Amino acid sequence: MSDWVAIEHWPDCARMERPGIVFELRNKEGQSLFTPCVQPLPEMPFDWASPPKSFRAVAEPEPVHSAPLPKPLP
């Protein structure tokens, strides 16, 4: 993981892009989300009380397999 960078530098995320790397955005309440480098910033979740204040490059989380769907009822 890299150091936190002020959100004003978000346009520089293109220089930081690498395969297997995504970006973690964080707001002042400590809420965070993962996103690829997209311009402009993606729309924030409805429950965020404040806009993002910083970001950092992180390794993309490994996918998690879900449990199989149950069989239909007869």
Q: Is residue 33 in a domain?
A: yes
- Evaluate whether residue 71 is within a structural domain: no
Tell whether the model's pLDDT for residue 1 goes beyond 80: no
Quick check: is 66 in a domain? no
Split into its structural domains, the chain has a count of 1
User: What are the tens digits of pLDDT across the range 4-53?
Assistant: 999 999 999 999 899 999 999 999 999 999 999 998 888 899 999 999 99
Give me the pLDDT at residue 37, please. Answer: 93
Q: State how far the Cα of 49 lies from the Cα of 38, in Å rounded to an integer.
A: 22
- Enter the pTM of the model: 0.78
pLDDT at 74 over 90: no
Q: Is residue 11 part of a domain?
A: yes
- Is 74 inside any structural domain? no
Judge whether residue 58 has pLDDT over 80. Answer: yes
Q: Which domain holds residue 46?
A: 5-59
Is 13 contained in some domain?
yes
Report the pLDDT value the prediction gives residue 73, as an integer from 0 to 100: 87
- Residue 65 included in any domain: no
Q: How far is CA 2 from CA 33, 37, 70, in A?
A: 15, 15, 41
